[in-house]
């Protein structure tokens, strides 16, 4: 049999089946397999509940192609002794390719949830898989491999061919994807352990991802025949680079792991670093994000948080004391003014009843008696300036309704000798 006849054997068989009346039964059987697989997949997606995790999401995406493969295999085993099943044999690798593409894209989407390039890569991966499947079905794959092996070039003292390079890239890619899938399973398990501190869970997830990725790359390089001892020179150069050019970056990464492990700063804390103050919204291995109540976000290198003094307003207790000061006239009823100030603060829904608001006389000033109102809140992330402003407005209204005056600076001029001044 010639190579051309061998390559087109499956196509000729399908054409021969098409001319046979029994081909209709193959079409009916394939459509039945597709329909039943679609119904089972829809039922499986419908029985899922919200928040079941990534494994459930993966099973929903793979339910149709895997069920289709099982049903098609059963149809081949059942009908193979009665009629030709070349169409069903062709459908088997198509279902398998669909499952492979969906699995790879699913893992990549969960490993890189913010990546916008995955949409284009999904098409590229699907095109590569379907293209190679077409070569496999038509028996042209061996000839393509033979043609790729003829393209040779030197890498140092080693001679490699194009097929070895492409096979190595595919091996590394699939191994890393498998490692990321295992890391995703570990992440689901760790994030579900609520008895463990959130920072420790984040550290565990990141260490697992980094470790599994490195192991996958090293293992895949060994599988494609690359001598790992050749990387020793590169490792030495990398160490020198970290010691000089990458010192700051390495310090930030180490500081990030220290912050996550010692739990001195957590997501949701209100901290101040120098003049930057805000709520901690994100902690990465290189930097920490602070969100100011005004909407601005500060990206603070982790090394700064380790090497400088950080004011953490919610380190051990989220309660925070706020203060506002107001001056009243000397002829005012101090007991009434202090009571109105306490009541104005206590009436605000965000002010804690325990400890209660308290008023202190802080100073006998030139034009007023200064009173300080202190009250506690438990949600500083909701804003501090807004609640102080609202309490001040309530204070002003209460003073106005009860006749308590808030004085302003005045100058009193006395004429000691009015007659002399008039004559002059």
In this predicted structure, what is the pLDDT of residue 210?
A: 77
In this predicted structure, what is the pLDDT of residue 361?
A: 92
pTM comes to 0.44
Contact 102, 131 (CB under 8 A): no
The rounded distance, in Å, linking the Cα atoms of 103 and 132 is 17
In this predicted structure, what is the pLDDT of residue 277?
A: 80
Print burial letters for 255-283: b (CB count within 10 Å at least 16), e (below 16): bbeebbeeebbbeebbbebeeebbbbeeb
Can you read off the two tokens belonging to residue 280?
């901690």
320-357 confidence digits (pLDDT tens): 888 899 988 888 888 899 999 998 999 988 888 888 99
In this predicted structure, what is the pLDDT of residue 360?
A: 92
In this predicted structure, what is the pLDDT of residue 6?
A: 43
- In three-state form (DSSP H/G/I as H, E/B as E, the rest C), the secondary structure along the chain is CCHHHHHCHHHHHHHHHHHCCCHHHHHHHHHHHHHHHHHHHHHHHHCCCCCCCHHHHHHHHHHHHHHHHHHHHHHHHHHCCCCCCHHHHHHHHHHHHHHHHHHHHHHHHHHCCCCCCHHHHHHHHHHHHHHHHHHHHCCCHHHHHHHHHCCEEEECCEEEEHHHHHHHHHHHHHHHHHHHHHHHHHHHHHHCCCCCCHHHHHHHHHHHHHHHHHHHHHHHHHHCCCCHHHHHHHHHHHHHHHHCCCHHHHHHHHHHHHHHHHCCCCCCCEEEECCEEEEEEEECCCEEEEECCCCCEEEEEHHHHHHCCCEECCCCCCCEEEEEEEEECCCCCHHHHHHHHHHHHHCCCCECCCCCCEEEEEEECCCCEEEEEEEEECCHHHCCHHHHHHHHHHHHHHHHHHCCCCCCCCCCCCCCCHHHHHHC
For the chain, list the domains and their CATH numbers: 3-139 (no CATH), 249-312 (2.30.30.60), 320-402 (3.30.70.100)
Segments of the chain scoring below 70 in pLDDT: 1-19, 21, 48-58, 110-122, 133-134, 136-140, 154-159, 194-200, 224-247, 410-411, 415-424
In this predicted structure, what is the pLDDT of residue 5?
A: 45
63-89 confidence digits (pLDDT tens): 888 888 888 888 888 887 777 777 777
Print burial letters for 147-165: b (CB count within 10 Å at least 16), e (below 16): eeeeeeeeeeeeebeebee
């Amino acid at each position: 049999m010639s190579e051309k006849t061998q390559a087109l054997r499956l196509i000729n068989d399908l054409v021969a089946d098409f001319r046979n009346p029994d081909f209709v039964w193959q079409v009916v059987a394939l459509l039945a397999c597709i329909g039943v697989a679609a119904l089972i997949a829809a039922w499986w997606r419908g029985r899922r509940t919200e928040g079941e995790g990534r494994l459930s999401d993966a099973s929903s995406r793979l339910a149709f192609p895997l069920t289709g493969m099982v049903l098609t295999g059963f149809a081949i085993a059942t009908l193979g002794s009665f009629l030709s099943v070349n169409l069903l044999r062709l459908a088997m690798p198509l279902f398998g390719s669909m499952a492979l593409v969906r699995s790879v894209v699913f893992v990549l989407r969960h490993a890189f949830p913010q990546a916008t390039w995955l949409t284009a890569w999904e098409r590229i991966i699907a095109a590569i898989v379907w293209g190679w499947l077409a070569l496999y079905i038509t028996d042209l794959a061996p000839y393509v491999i033979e043609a790729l092996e003829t393209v040779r070039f030197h890498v140092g003292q080693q001679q490699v061919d194009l097929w070895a390079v492409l096979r190595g890239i595919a091996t590394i890619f699939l191994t890393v994807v498998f490692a990321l899938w295992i890391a995703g399973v570990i992440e689901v398990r760790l994030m579900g352990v609520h008895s463990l501190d959130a920072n420790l869970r984040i550290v565990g997830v990141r260490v697992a991802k980094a470790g599994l990725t490195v192991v996958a790359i090293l293992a895949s390089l060994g599988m494609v025949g690359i001598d790992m001892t050749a990387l020793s020179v590169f490792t030495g150069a990398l160490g020198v680079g970290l010691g000089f050019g990458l010192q700051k970056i390495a310090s930030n990464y180490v500081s990030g792991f220290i912050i996550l492990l010692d739990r001195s700063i957590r997501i949701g804390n209100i901290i101040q670093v120098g003049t930057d103050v805000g709520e901690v919204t994100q902690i990465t291995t290189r930097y920490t994000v602070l969100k100011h109540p005004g909407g601005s976000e500060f990206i603070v290198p982790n090394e700064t948080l380790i090497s400088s003094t950080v004011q953490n307003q919610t380190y051990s207790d989220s309660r925070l004391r706020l203060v506002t000061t107001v001056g009243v006239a000397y002829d005012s009823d101090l007991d009434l003014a202090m009571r109105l100030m306490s009541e104005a603060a206590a009436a605000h829904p965000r002010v804690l009843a325990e400890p209660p608001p308290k008023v202190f006389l802080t100073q006998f000033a030139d034009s007023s008696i200064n009173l300080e109102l202190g009250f506690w809140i438990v949600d500083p992330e909701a804003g501090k300036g807004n609640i102080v402003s609202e309490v001040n407005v309530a204070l002003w209204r209460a003073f106005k309704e009860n006749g308590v005056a808030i004085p302003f600076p005045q100058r009193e001029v006395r004429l000691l000798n009015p007659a002399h001044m008039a004559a002059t």
